[in-house]
Amino acid sequence: MKDHFLIVAGHLDTKNKEQIAIKLFEKLKKINNIKICYCTHLFYIPESIVEIVDYIVYDKENPILNWDITNNITKTFQITLSLGNKLQSQFDDSNTKLIYYPPYHGYAHFLSMCAGVSIGASSGHDKFTFLNYDLNTEKIFKLYDNIEKINENKCDGIFYEYKVNNSKQICFNTELFTFNLKLAQTLINYRNLDNFLSFDTIILENVISNICRKNNLKIHVNEEPLENNTLGLVPFGHNSNIKYFIPFETVYLKNIQHDFVLFPFKDENEYKFFWFAQNIDVNNEIFYRDFKLKIDDDFVESNEIVSINKNSKLSFFHKNKKIRDFQFNNEKHFGYKK
């Protein structure tokens, strides 16, 4: 039996990400009968990873949708905020909505996937697994299960379900999936941007799901639900040394997830900003007292709209620990009023 071909994609631009990835690779190298290919758009690759893997693909092109590439399809990926009473009262309009086009890495990620598949297929492999660098190592047993199942040759791909609100069809999680040569060759056919966008969506999970359906691929969906809809440890843009701004921050308190909106926007020619915690009452002083946010040298109260500069600096704290530090400097960092 041929070795199984593992494709690991990563963008290790922080020490935390690097440590998470190294821990994963140390686990992977203990698996018998595999070849490992690391794919990245970042020139820096830790030496310890270089020593473990069999192949490396570095592609300096890292096209981020809604940043490097913007069109009518990429703009379908947007955040639309309907404001609560306290924020709404600070606008002249009675029903203000705010729009934000967040950067999305799905296409760049897909290019890494295809690059790894091309290396594996050209070197004679016919069974593959794609996984992200931040796969929770406690979930590594899922990889063993997938390899065993794909070797039965009863399906073209094995996925976990990715829950999408109001979706009429099952979507497939792309953080860990296993597949045969037929599916691998099919993926490569969609490497071109126009083909990738041909389903009128940029969400990678939706694209992969549609590719499988359109090409009548036989897919096995693992029934086990995923906690928080993910197998990974690091959301895109979290604590990254990157130029993009993601207008959300997630904080876990006593294992409870709290999501914050950190929203910069333009109101005509003026730059503005506000922040709040989702699903938390605006008057909950006990909750908010542990969080502080500064724009430049001034603290900003939650649910208060303030004027800022295009080049203002944001700092977000929980109990004096800085959890977000960002320098605005680009028009694309700002949403707009609809």
- Cα 292 to Cα 282: distance, rounded to the nearest angstrom: 15
pLDDT reading at 335 higher than 80: yes
| 307 Cβ contact list (under 8 Å, min separation 6) | 270, 271, 272
Q: Which of 269, 277, 279, 237 is closest to 334 using CA atoms?
A: 269
Contact 20, 3 (CB under 8 A): no
Per-residue pLDDT, 166: 64
Between these two residues, 113 and 244, which has the higher pLDDT value?
Answer: 113
- Cα 265 to Cα 158: distance, rounded to the nearest angstrom: 41
Q: In sequence order, what DSSP letters do the residues of 93-147 get, joined into one string? A: SSS-EEEE---B-HHHHHHHHHHHHHHHHHTT--EEEEEETTB-GGGTHHHHHHH
- The predicted model gives 294-314 an average pLDDT of 96
In the predicted model, what is the mean pLDDT of the chain? 91
Q: Tell me: the pLDDT tens digits for 26-61?
A: 999 999 999 999 999 999 999 999 999 999 999 999
pLDDT reading at 224 higher than 80: no
HSE-up (13 A, CA, CB side) for residue 309: 9
The pTM score is: 0.88
Between these two residues, 233 and 158, which has the higher pLDDT value?
Answer: 158
Q: Which fold has domain 4-61+104-229?
A: Spore Coat Polysaccharide Biosynthesis Protein SpsA; Chain A (3.90.550)
Partners of 294 in the β-ladder: 299, 315
Give the three-class secondary structure for 55. Answer: strand
> What residues does each domain of the chain span?
4-61+104-229, 248-337
Local confidence band at 305 (pLDDT 50, 70, 90 cut-offs): very high
| 51 Cβ contact list (under 8 Å, min separation 6) | none
Q: 2 is written with which tokens?
A: 């041929």
Percent of the chain scored above 90 by pLDDT? 72
| 86 Cβ contact list (under 8 Å, min separation 6) | 282, 303
Local confidence band at 244 (pLDDT 50, 70, 90 cut-offs): confident
Local confidence band at 193 (pLDDT 50, 70, 90 cut-offs): very high
Per-residue pLDDT, 240: 54
Q: Tell me: the pLDDT tens digits for 140-153?
A: 888 899 999 999 99
- Cα 289 to Cα 310: distance, rounded to the nearest angstrom: 28
